[in-house]
Amino acid sequence: MDKLPKIAFPVIIAAVILIITLSKSAVTIGSGEAGVLYKTFGGGVVTDEAPLGEGFHIVAPWNKVYVYEVRRQEIFEKMKVLSSNGLDIQLDASAWYKPAYSDLGKLHQEIGEDYLSRIILPTIRSAARSVVGRYTPEQLYSSKRDAIQREIFEETKKIVDEQYIVLDEILVRDVTLPPTIKDAIERKLKQEQESLEYEFRLVTAQKEAERQIIEAEGKAQANKILSASLTDKILQDKGIEATNKLAESPNSKVVIIGSGDSGMPIILGNQ
């Protein structure tokens, strides 16, 4: 009975140490995540091996695993930038990004877990200032939003690609101008639209007038040709032909021969 406590105490201590060791050694990587292994006695961050994938892993208790989300993520950003003529513009944008999976160890070693605030956001802001500064407020409001979005993306991607980050897209969601500038641009655009509509009406009216002139000239030319081809002899022949057809019809009529001004018959009847 005296020996039991002496045996049980080391067993309990060993069990506690084993439980602590297992809890420190067991690492679970969740869905859409990956782990970077840090070896305390083995050279620090492991960069020459693939990251720890999803699932359960056993590591030495003196080592540490840093877990990163490797799915596509989205960040929203509101920025104050200046146009080419120095006016304040508010730009609302979002970015789709994720860490480069195969270079996760290098990302952790050289930049760290807060790579979003250290690399991505400052780069987007810098690119937005550079790009928007090339355009006037009118261009930003009307026709250049797609170009701005593409240029900000290209300039940002050029930098973050070298920082072990994958940038999928940058979306410019809204461009807000000062109210007075916006109203002036809208009035100008409305006036331009009205001017274009007026010019269209003028062109349409001019084309219609030209069509009518051409049609009238064609009719005049046709009448001229027809008049030149008609002689008294032809007219008399046509009159005789018409008289014969009328005389042969069953309708009652009186035909007076040679009583017209030109000697043509006069036909009288009840029809």
Residue 174 CA to its chain's centroid (Å): 13
Please report the DSSP string for 26-86 in residue order. Answer: EEEE-TTEEEEEEETTTTEE--SSPPB-SEEEE--TT-EEEEEE-S-EEEEEEEEEE-TTS
Question: Quick one: which of 178, 172, 120, 180 has its CA closest to 151?
Answer: 172
What does pLDDT average to in each consecutive run of 10 residues of the chain (271 residues)?
A: 57 60 76 93 89 89 91 93 83 94 94 94 94 84 81 94 94 82 63 67 79 81 71 64 67 53 54 48
Q: What is the pTM of this model?
A: 0.61
Domain boundaries, the chain: 3-69, 73-177, 179-229, 232-269
Residue 105 to residue 174: CA distance in whole angstroms: 36
pLDDT at residue 216 in the model: 81
CA dist., res. 71 & res. 260, Å (int): 105
Quick one: pLDDT at residue 38?
A: 93
Partners of 68 in the β-ladder: 34
pLDDT tens column, 81-140: 888 877 888 889 999 999 999 999 999 999 999 999 999 999 999 999 999 888 888 787
- pLDDT at res. 265: 57
| pLDDT for residue 1 | 47
> pLDDT value at position 35?
94
- Which residue, chain included where needed, has tokens 């304040």? 88
What pLDDT was estimated at residue 135? 87
Closest to 47 in 3D by CA, of 55, 56, 38 = 38
CATH 3.30.479.30 assigned to 73-177: yes
**Tens-place pLDDT, residues 25-41:** 788 899 999 999 999 88
Distance CA 37, CA 230 (A): 109
